[in-house]
Structure 1
Amino acid sequence: MFFAGDIGGTKVNLALCEVHDGRITTQFLRRYSSAQFGSLSDVLVRYVKEIGPLSGKIEGTCFGVPGPVLNGRCHTVNLPWTPDSAEIARDLAQVVEAGPVQLINDLEATAYGIGLLQKSGQGLSILRAATGAIGHRANQALLAPGTGLGEAMLLWDGIRHVISPSEGGHADFGPQDEEQIELLRWLWPRHKHVSWEHVASGPALHRLYRFLKETGRETEPAELAEALAQPGVDASPVIAAMAIRGQYPICVRAFDLWLFFVGAEAGNLALKSLSLGGIFIGGGIIPNVLELFRRPAFFAGLDSKGRMSSVVAGMPVYGIVDPLTALYGAAFSAAHSHGVLHGFR
């Protein structure tokens, strides 16, 4: 049995996982709000106390965390925690024997999870089919808009995929037309360093909405302004829901602009890794808006790569619709480290 978790800027998913015939199953799955806890250890101790005494032994523990992991310590960007594997092991030891504790980047965990989904044939939705016969045995790219913008590369070494986590979401944003240049000028005073995360993460949708409104490109209806101004309202999901229904032009246009940017950065990552094996779009928002990713705006951003447009246009694209993909990947990593699962493919 393995203790696994997907740690995000908004939520924490935790579960105990079993490995049977190379497949991972979960039990005692719990979801927590990240904002309600002062540290990752606080969440973990709460979880262990809630599920009560265990019938088996935890052989190992792994958590996917939102940021680069250096020497067992994660420097998060969108979460006021600094998880440390040694400190977590010490805190968990007060309430349960959790085995070795491992921290990996959350997109690294998602990338491991992709391998499991491909083996099971579930949890992935085809947004664009492959045009050739290369299959999965080639480099792959993973982009996940959420609280931030996560990226990872799955590099094929001839036997298996080797996961390379990335912080490419913080790389410089590059506009492609006059309107996007104006967007960059609008963002500069607010953020100084304007990255892809500022235009292609979950919170970026509200940012693009505000740009359209404040620059007079679209009009904000009074009833929509009132709805977004309500205390505690997270504007981006509201805007996305309106875009799905096609209810307000400003919401539809903001979402199309967001789709373009998600596609553009996915294409950038795919070119840098030459991901002929596929481009995967993940993140918590994807299952709710998957059909909108079939809109022309996403593929316009994805494939608009000048002389390399035809190369990217030949790459298959998948939406990750299983919300537990990163948790499965963390469980895989724990099991693999313990010698239970061998190889990524």
Structure 2
Amino acid sequence: MNVLIGDIGGTKTILAIFSSEAGPNKPLVEMTYPSTHYASLEAIIAEFLAAVKLPAASACFAIAGPIVAGRARVTNLTWVVDSDNLKSTFMWPEVKLLNDLESVAYAIAILGPGDIHTINPGVPVQGGNIAVLAPGTGLGEAFLTYSNGRYQAHASEGSHVSFGPVGQLQIGLLQYMNQQGHSHVSYERVCSGGLGIPNLYAYLKSIGHAAEPAWLAEKLAVAEDSTPIIVNAAQDHTRPCELAIATLNLFITILGAEAGNLALKILSSGGIYLGGGISPRILAGLENPAFLDALRSKGRFREMLTKYPVHVILNPKAGLLGAAAFGLSPS
């Protein structure tokens, strides 16, 4: 049986055909489309099916955005994805929708050793809850619980809770963000690529934490996306930039603290997994003791958190594979 699987984001949409025979790790065919070039998901699906000429008995889509009653509005797009409309349009008896972080969570069970980098092996509890955080354009969060012989993923908007600063530097960050007009400062606003890293950089620059080199200022002045420039500058050992390094270090400590927050809330004795586009690019920083120290600095629960495994998901298509695992599984 073939199933159409999609990973739907505001920038790109990946569609693929998976089969129950080949399993969720091996798509029969896969294509990527620029989401903003199409008026709807239906338009992309129609083009894809016409090109691949393979039948699909059902479909499953991972979507960047909350799903309510089988409907979802894709983040940063005007699309509304409706499972009932997709069923009627393509004559599918079943269409599954899940949040994009749920799909990353479902991928964990099927990822191979080469898809994972371990920060802390810990002492995993079999069947223990699992926390998933994915800093990318935003900060996604989800978690897994074990029941009836398998893990079930749960969506969350946990990154939108109020940022809890630790230490004077982070307290200053919160005050700075308030002064910029943000009465509510979420973790996503200070711990993501789209918002967080540029905000951290601007804050540290504003307080004179370090000088901004002219070459970096010139790059940032013409950049549409400043985050990769700042991250690359922080990891460029040929010409060290103290301001960029401080920005990345602050980001890593805030990420560690929020990973510890989620781990405590769900008691993730099965492990903590970091996904998203940023985590694999900053492995050296995550290996720095400051990350785990921020994660574990929870008072009397420090010893417990020390036992929790911490891993980084390296496979950039974990979301697609997780959606395939979910789509191929019995309802």
TM-score (structure 1 length as normaliser): 0.87
Q: Paired residue for 1:288?
A: 281
Q: How does 1:143-222 map to 2 (within 5 A)?
A: 143-157=133-147, 159-188=149-178, 189-203=180-194, 204-222=196-214
Q: Paired residue for 1:245?
A: 236
Q: Paired residue for 1:255?
A: 248
Counterpart CA distance in 2 for 1:149 and 1:215 is 25
Q: How does 1:130-149 map to 2 (within 5 A)?
A: 130=122, 132=123, 134-149=124-139
Residue identity in the other structure for 1:41: E
Q: Paired residue for 2:105?
A: 111
Contact 2:256 2:295 in 1 (8 A): yes
**What's the secondary structure of 2:176's corresponding residue?**
helix
Counterpart CA distance in 1 for 2:228 and 2:325 is 31
**What's the secondary structure of 2:259's corresponding residue?**
helix
Alpha-carbon shift at residue 80 of structure 1 (Å)? 3.9
Structure 1 stretch 290-299 or stretch 75-84: which is displaced more?
A: 75-84
Alpha-carbon shift at residue 78 of structure 1 (Å)? 4.3
Q: Is 1:297 the counterpart of 2:293 in the alignment? A: no
Number of equivalent positions: 326
Q: Paired residue for 1:343?
A: none
Q: 5+ unaligned residues in a row in structure 2: which ranges?
A: none
RMSD over equivalenced CA pairs, Å: 2.1
Counterpart CA distance in 2 for 1:143 and 1:47 is 31
Change (3 A) 1:302 1:48: same
Counterpart CA distance in 2 for 1:173 and 1:285 is 20
Alpha-carbon shift at residue 81 of structure 1 (Å)? 3.1
Contact 1:286 1:319 in 2 (8 A): yes
Counterpart CA distance in 2 for 1:215 and 1:298 is 23
Structure 1 stretch 1-10 or stretch 32-41: which is displaced more?
A: 32-41
Q: Is 1:267 the counterpart of 2:270 in the alignment? A: no
Cα offsets for 1:265-286 (capped at 9, x unmatched): 1110000111111000000223
Alpha-carbon shift at residue 105 of structure 1 (Å)? 0.6
Residue identity in the other structure for 1:125: H
Residue identity in the other structure for 1:143: L
Alpha-carbon shift at residue 196 of structure 1 (Å)? 0.7
Q: Paired residue for 2:221?
A: 229
Q: Paired residue for 1:277?
A: 270
**What's the secondary structure of 1:26's corresponding residue?**
coil
Contact 1:3 1:62 in 2 (8 A): yes
Q: 5+ unaligned residues in a row in structure 1: which ranges?
A: 339-345
